[in-house]
Structures are given as structure tokens and as C-alpha cells.
Structure 1
Amino acid sequence: MNIREFVSGFKTHPVLFVGTGLSLRYLNNAFNWDELLKSACKIVNDNEEKYLDIKAKHIVDNGVFNFPKIGSDVEQLFNQFLTENRNGSLKDINDEYYKSIESGKPISRFKLYIASVLKSLDIKSAQKEEIELLKQLKNNISAVITTNYDTLLENIIGFKPLIGNDILLSNPYGALYKIHGCVSDPSKIIISNEDYSRSKSQDELIRAQLLSLFIHNPVIFLGYGAQDENVNNILKTVFKYTEYNTDAFRKIKENFLIVEYEANSQNEEISDYHLKIEDIPIQVKKLQTDKYSSLYKELIEAKYPISAVDIRKVQNIMSDIITTAKSSDKKSIREVIVVDSHEEINNEDRVLVITYGNRETANTIKQTVFKEKLIPEHMSVSDFINNYFEIIDEKNRERIKVIDRLTIAKNVYFPILGFKKIYSKLKYSSKIEQIQRDILDKFVKKTPKNFTRHISIEDIYKDSTIATSNKHSTLVFNVWHNNIPLENLELFLRNYDEDKGDSKYRRLIALYDYKKYK
């Protein structure tokens, strides 16, 4: 069976279960569990044998290492070393540690170090094609689950990250479950034996929460080996609640695909893989390959009765219905309504339509409601700039058509080229493109010629020789002259947590769009 044949059998949107291997594939600064612990131990003692001594203490009978216990020993060693070296090379980590104590929420120095090491995203340029495909997957998958700490997936796929208790009773569509924590909140990172013990009861609840996803959706494991403990734990959880060799059991196991990395392999054939879960023989599917792009393309092109994007929109409206139904403001309650195809729809209403008619009736309702209500004609210039990546990722032609009703002033940074690539029939795109080019060119020409060359945005903001007032100009200058890769700028903009109405953000979006699509 090839990839296309396997994916064509999906009845519901798949779930991605992502491990360290995917970060190692796409990031220059990624570590597996062993390498991450070794890097911390090396700071304490440059002799690599110290780490090997720790590993030797925690080897289990079958030759596998107990990494949570290794993590505990390394954490204790690391924290003690930083306590005794307050102003050493990791002074910044100590500074953060003492600030966390002042705030009443002390965080282990070890976890602060892990967050600092994995926080920046240094994308491998050789993987550009696959990453572009990975971005498009958001339209055809229901959720992502990961044991990774870094922010690669939220930056590329754009799903909302959920950590710890936030996972419980969450909405599965459009969610990124970070079950071992995240660098955005170092206190919730799970790496030591003590962390695993503390989270054990929570883990049971999280597994129960995710169980329905595994039973009702295809699950694709990316970045794990077939023997990985995380994979086996998930399979144990699922098959623990399914009677052996029943129709349900057989249906579920056919939905599991383990994608295992095999160097230089262009294989696209999926084979059966036999394993045992607590002495129960189970056969799942496995793909051994180095050509992930083939899988991504098939997942992007897969057809379902309703798209994952539309499901997320409906869920958002349902959330509004629940929220406004509790409101004491009668006016707000009317803002979201549910109607069938025979009811009258007011222009001011947000509408969820439940159609009982035939396909022709459904299409009529879809045109009147989704075109006029969910993609309103009064979208502003700011709406297009602030939601730039969402519109580009979804290739939302209906939204883009509204640009012809906008007035773009000559002093406005507007990113027209990406929108034009998706919908080439925009009437005024050439005029707006000229404005975009002129305003960027004018800004760059005002930039002093003695600006320093930098190859990453992180370098600019860490460089103390650049005045704060000049950092933005330095960034624009280096992107314009191709010193900073566009992938670096894109991740920066997707993760932008300041005011998007600010001229700096608008300028950078217009710059990215121009360099990407000119």
C-alpha cells in the first residue's frame, strides 16, 4: 500500500503525534533527550565521562536507560553548580532564577537553562520545501500532540498551544497539546523523575482526554522510532480500553501510522509492523522514509466531507453561543443565533446554519451566510495585515477579493503580493504593489550606510552596541539586503506578541511579503 492509498481511507481528519525527531529534522539547535542532558552536564564538568557515570547508574535490564532518573541527577548537579557560581557564564540564568523567587514562583535553574537553549528557532535552510508543506497541513488535520519543548510547531502550524491543566476539557480541533511542557513556561517542563511523579495523576486525566482523539481519528507518529516509549504508552492506553480482536480493535489499529526516519530513503510504501503491547500482538502501519514531503502532500490534498478549517469556525461560533447565552446583556445574546434553512437571517447576526434541505439549498445558504457574514465586506486594511499569515495559509480567495473594495493610501505598508499570488484577478493590485515597493524603498534609502551586518534577528536584539531605537532599522536593512533568511523573519512575525497596529509590524509584514513574492 502506498501513502495515497492509505490516506484516501481516512474518514476523519488525522492527529499528528510529534516527537523530537521532527525538531532534529528542521532545527539546527535541536537536541534529543540524551544530548540535552549531556549538554547541561558538560557545563558542570567538561569531562564527558561524568555524564556516562550518571547514565550507568540508571540502566535497566534490557539495556535501555531511565532518562527521567538521569534527568534528576543532572538537574541536582546543575543547580548546585550554578548556586556556587553565581556570576559565572550562566549569570543570566541565575538572574532569572532569583526573579522567579521574588515573584513567589521559583523555577529550577536547570529548566530555565533548557528554555534558554531551545527558545530560539534556527531553521535548517535545506528543509524549506518540507516546512512550507507543513504549514499547509493546518487546513487538513484536527490536532497536534507533542512531547517537544520548543515552539517550532506553534510557529509553523499556528495552532494554540495547551500545556498542563489547559489540556483538560479542551476543544480538540485546532489545538497543540504540549504534554511534556514548553519553553514558554519553564516551570511546566517535565524532564526529571520527580516531574513525572508529580504529573502522574494529571497524565492519567490527559490521556483520558486524548483517548477519544486516538479512537476516532487516524494518528500519525512523526519524529519517533517504532520502539519509542511514548509510542508504546499511547498504544497501551488505547488498546487497554478496546476488547481484543473486535471490529473496533481492528478499525483502530488500522488508523495508526508510525513514520520512521530512514536516511536517504525515497520509500513511499507503507508496510505492516508487528509489535506486542503487554503480550497482546498488534499490527499497525509503518512508513520508513526520508521523503516526508510525499506524506505531507497527500495529507494536504485529502478530501473530507467538511474541512478542518470550517469545523474550527463552527466551534468558535458555538463557543460564542455558550458565552453570550450566559450574558445579562440581551443585545449580545442576539449576536449569535442558530437557524435552519427556512428562517430569516438578519444582516447584523452571526449565524450558524443547520440545513435540512438538499445540496442546492445548502449551497444557497452557504453563499448568503458564509460570504456575507463570516467574510464580511467591511474588512479593513488592518484586518488583512493582522491576519496576513492566516489568510495566506488558508488560501482564502473570498477574503482576498474584498481588497478591491479597500482604499490603500500611499503611506500605508500593505502586503499585496502574497494575496495576489492566491487571487490574481485583483483589479488594483498593480497600483498597490507600486505603493508597497516605493514605501519600502524610501525607508531603506533613509537607513545609514554604516549599519552592521547580522544574520539573525536574535543577534540584532542581543547586540548591546545597537541602540534600542535603531534595532528595527537594522532589522529592515539586513532583511532588505538578504543577510537575514526570510524563514527567520517569518517565524519572528508569526510569533509577534506586541501591538500589530504598530508601524514596525506593518513595515515588516510588507517587507516579508515583498521579499517572498516579488
Structure 2
Amino acid sequence: MKDFGTYIQERQKNIISQVEELKCQPILFVGSGLSMRYFNAPTWESLLEQMADDCPEVNHSIDYYLQRNDSYPEIGGILADDYYDWAWGDGKNEFPDELRSREYPSDIYLKYKVAEHFRDITPNSIDAINNQRHREEIGLLQEIQPHAIITTNYDPFLEVIFPDYQPIVGEEILRTDYQSVGEILKIHGCVSTPEKLILTDEDYDQWVNKQKYLSAKLLTYFAEHPVLISGYSVTDDNVRRILSDIDEILAPDDGLIDNIYFLDWEDDISSVDTFQREKPIQTVDSKSIRVNYIQSKSFDWVFRAFSQGGNIEGVNLKLLRTVMANTYDIIKTKAPREEIEINYQSLERAANSGESFGTLFGVTTHDNPMDFNILYRHRLTEVAEELGYDTWHYANQLIAQIEEKKDINIKESDNQYHMDIAFDREDTQRRYSDSAVELLRKVRDGEDYELELQSDSVS
């Protein structure tokens, strides 16, 4: 082994310098290798093998398809057809009846089983990880407190590691008009919504067509933040495609993008003759992009270095997301249409002072989350969508049912379910909390519920 200790010191110094220079939290770009490391999640090939073994309609092993050079997405498409036949034949009892609705595509049965498999094997807490070294390593990963996480993983393990972060799944990323803090961008879908998983060749064809739009959304992250890529191979198409788009805009004349780091796992460090500091990665357009490169068997020192540039400890991430969303909404839709009155003189004074500007938005060190309106992120239309309805009218009818039964209209006051965030109370701008969604879900399903209104203290 050629002085691995010196290599660690050099890499740590480089990382810390970059993090401190950019003065913002890192972005994590996480692949399946991290899940494989911590709870033996399957490779793509072993996942397909498992799915093939579980379905009696599959007539060939995965090797049969690989020998004729079928890609993993193509094999996924073949298995999806087999699962469809199984679900409508002898395997009817293996799937919920609701999946046979025409609202679902025919590949839902394979995706349902894939999601079920990942839910079964994913630990529900860090303490459930058997390896003590890995638990400590995950603790250091948490200390990075990333601005956001980008992942192609289906499993919910990142949500276990970062419980305060908000998952944004699939095309929802493209529909978001702003870039927020404390989000897990699950670009290939999540087990929470199996129908959105990117798994078959048809899925990938559609995803590749939208790749440019996704890269455009991620451009600010890659341009302004330290980026740590972990859990991927340097030959992974997902990484190569995104870096290809990033390269067109960000790559300097010398080719090295110095804020992007690729972390590669080395099982046997003693066999490495020369440790690399940079790595050329071949992009999908036959070009090459150079990024910082890190080789290591243990990741603890890497995570520790990325956590040295500052942290957001004590900051309520839900609050920050809500402030950003509401601010963007005001700037984009309310102010241009003169739907609100803006005191530009006061705004200018506040903007010139970080402390005053924070106070303008109600961002203080107060501990009561109700004072910050952090819960009210849903319009009534979005509440209806969460409940499976097409329009807001159905959610409004559920609110009316509550009033009829309890003699309380939750929209008549600011409380834990509802808030009017409008500047002018004559022009209401109603928002609803996750608690409201759960309350209305119980009303919809005919379940018992208690109505516990807590008045908001904000004047």
C-alpha cells in the first residue's frame, strides 16, 4: 500500500477547502451501492433474478436473456409481461384487487412486487444495522447535513437516515418551480408509489427523453454546491447521462470540475499501487469529464471531511421549504398581478440586513413550530389529490361533513389543520397541513376521529 494515510490527509484537505470556499451545504448523489453496503440491498441483476424466481410464469433464467445481450431494462419489460399474465391467472391472490383497475399500466404487478421486496428488506432504523462500524459511518453521513440528496434508489433507506428530509418522487421534481432545501430527489421513483418506478425499457425511454429537463433542474446544485457521488460505478449510465449534460455548461477549459467528487469503494486498499486524485468519466456522448476521485474501503473519513464546512443544526427544514415555496409563489404569481400590496421601501431595508430579512419572514429562534406556519404546505386541490380525488370539491365536502357532525368549520380559524396565509384577509389564501390530510382521510373512510383544534399564536 502506497502511503494511504498521506492520501487521506490530502483528500480531506482538498474536500474541506472546497466546502469552505463554496460556503454552502453539500449535495449527495447516491446510488444503490450505498444500500448494498449497509443492508445488502440487491444489485439490479440480483433483483431481476429474485423477481424471475418468484414468478412461475417466467420460463427462463436471467442468464438466458443476458446471453442474447438483452439490457436490464429490456429484461424488466419481459418480466413485466410475465407478471401481468400471472396476476390475471393463478397469481390473482398475490396482488391487491385494486391493481386490476384500468388506471394502472400493465407493468404495475412487477413494480408492486419490487416495491414490496424493498420494503421488506429495508431497515426501519439505523439501530437495525448489525454492523457497528457501519452505524458509526451512517452517523457521520448524517452530520454532512446535505442541502439536498439526489438518488436513483427505489428503497426508503435515505428517508431513514434523513427523517426530516422530504422525498420528491419522479416527475414531481420537474413540476417543482424552485429548488428547496432538505429534499430527497428520487429520480427513478420510490416504493411508496410503485407505478412510478423506472424499471422497464419503456420507462427508460421516457425517462431519457426528459433527462435534459432534469439536468437543467439540477444545474444549480452541481454549479454552486460541493457534490459527493457515492454508490455508483463510474460506468453507470445514470451518472454518465447527467454528467454529460452538466459537462456542456460547467466544465472549465482544463476539463476538471473541482467541486464534484466521486467516491469509489476499494475492497483491498493494500493492492492499490497508485491512488488517484482525479478521474475521467466517459459520458454518453463519447466525451470525457474529469472530476475529483476518492478511493477508500471505509467512508468515515470522507463523510467527516464533507461535514466540516458548517451545518444546519437546529434549523427546521420544513420551515425553510415552506418559506421558499410561499416566497416563490408570491414573486411568481401574486406580485406581478398586483394581488398583494408590497412595501418596497421596507423590503429594501430588510434585504440589506440578513437579520432583518429573516425576521421579515418570521424566521427566529423560537421553538414553537406553529409560529412559523411550517405545517401548511397543501392547497385544497393538493389535499384532494392526496386523498385520490380529481378536484378540490370532494375534499371540501369532507370538511363540510366535519362541520355537520362536530359543528366546527376548520376553515373559520387558523389552527393545526388550516391557515389563511393571505396578506389581505379579504382575499383568502388557504393552506392545509398534513394533519388535515390525515383527518380528511379518516372522514373519507368512515373512521372515528377526534377534532383537536389548536389556535395559532401568530397575529
TM-score, length-normalised on structure 2?
0.64
| 1:207-356 equivalent positions in 2, closer than 5 A | 207-241=215-249, 246=253, 249-250=255-256, 253-263=257-267, 265=269, 271-277=277-283, 278-303=285-310, 309=315, 316-323=322-329, 339=346, 353-356=350-353
| Deviation of 1:209 (Å) | 1.6
Higher relative contact order (CA 8 A, sep 6+): 2
The alignment status of 1:21 with 2:29, answered yes or no, reads: no
Cα drift, residue 112 of structure 1: 0.5
Q: How does 1:34-183 map to 2 (within 5 A)?
A: 34-44=45-55, 50-58=61-69, 66-86=71-91, 91-93=93-95, 96=96, 98-102=97-101, 104-106=103-105, 108-120=108-120, 121-122=122-123, 123-126=128-131, 127-138=134-145, 141-157=146-162, 158-170=164-176, 171-172=178-179, 173-183=181-191
AA of the residue aligned to 1:212: T
Q: What are structure 1's unaligned runs of at least 5 residues?
A: 60-65, 343-352, 357-361, 387-496, 500-518
- Report the Cα distance in structure 2 between the residues aligned to 1:370 and 1:295, rounded to whole angstroms: 38
Is the contact between residue 320 and residue 336 of structure 1 (CA under 8 Å) also seen in structure 2? no
Aligned counterparts of 2:334 and 2:281: Cα–Cα separation in 1: 53
Q: Deviations over 1:405-433 (max 9, x none)?
A: xxxxxxxxxxxxxxxxxxxxxxxxxxxxx
Q: Is the 8 A contact 2:119 2:156 kept in 1?
A: yes
Distance in 1 (CA, whole Å) between partners of 2:342 and 2:369 is 18
CA displacement at 1:340 relative to structure 2: 5.8
Structure 2: which 5+ runs fail to align? 1-9, 376-436, 440-459
The answer on whether the counterparts of 1:2 and 1:270 sit within 8 Å (CA) in structure 2 is: no
> Are residues 1:375 and 2:365 paired?
yes
Question: Relative to structure 1, is the Cα distance of residues 369 and 42 closer, same or farther in structure 2, using a 3 angstrom cutoff?
Answer: same
Q: Distance in 1 between matches of 2:154 and 2:277?
A: 31
User: CA RMSD of the aligned region, Å?
Assistant: 4.0
CA displacement at 1:294 relative to structure 2: 1.2
Residues 262/241 of structure 1: CA separation in 2 closer, same or farther (3 Å cut) = same
Superposed displacement of residue 281, structure 1: 4.4
Q: Which amino acid aligns with 1:188?
A: K
Instruction: Tell me how far 1:221 sits from its aligned partner.
Output: 0.9
Residues in 2 aligned to 1:198 and 1:275: alpha-carbon distance in whole angstroms = 24
TM-superposition CA deviations, 1:326-373 (whole Å, max 9, x none): 689xxx97999995696xxxxxxxxxx4235xxxxx67x59x949995
Q: Work out the CA distance in 2 between the residues paired with 1:16 and 1:238.
A: 16
Distance 2:31 2:185 in 1: 12
SS at match of 2:210: helix
What CA distance in whole angstroms lies between the structure 1 residues aligned with 2:205 and 2:37?
30
Tell me the secondary structure at the aligned position of residue 234 of structure 1: helix
Q: Deviations over 1:227-251 (max 9, x none)?
A: 2222222221112345x7527x54x
Alpha-carbon distance between aligned partners in 2 of 1:153 and 1:337, rounded to the nearest angstrom: 42
Pair 338,151 (structure 1): closer, same or farther in 2 beyond 3 Å: farther
- Which residue is 2:417 aligned to? none
| Structure 2 equivalent of residue 4 of structure 1 | 13
Label 1:283 to 1:246 Cα distance change in 2 as closer, same or farther (>3 A). Answer: same
Equivalent position amino acid for 1:105 in 2: Y
- Secondary structure of residue in 1 paired with 2:233: coil
Greater helix percent: which structure? 1
Partner-residue secondary structure (3-state), 1:168: helix
Contact kept in structure 2, 1:149 and 1:183, CA below 8 Å: yes
Aligned to 2:210: 202
Deviation at 1:151, TM superposition (A): 0.8
Give 1:204 shift: 2.8
Native 8 Å contact 2:49 2:61 kept in 1: no
Tell me by how many angstroms 1:272 deviates. 1.8
Deviation at 1:214, TM superposition (A): 1.9
Post-superposition offset of 1:498: 6.6
Report the Cα offset of residue 202 of structure 1: 2.7
Secondary structure class of the residue paired with 1:274: strand
1:282 to 1:164, Cα distance in 2 relative to 1, 3 A: closer
The residue type equivalent to 2:168 in the other structure is L
User: CA shift at 1:179, angstroms?
Assistant: 1.0
Aligned-partner Cα distance in 2 for 1:230–1:291: 24
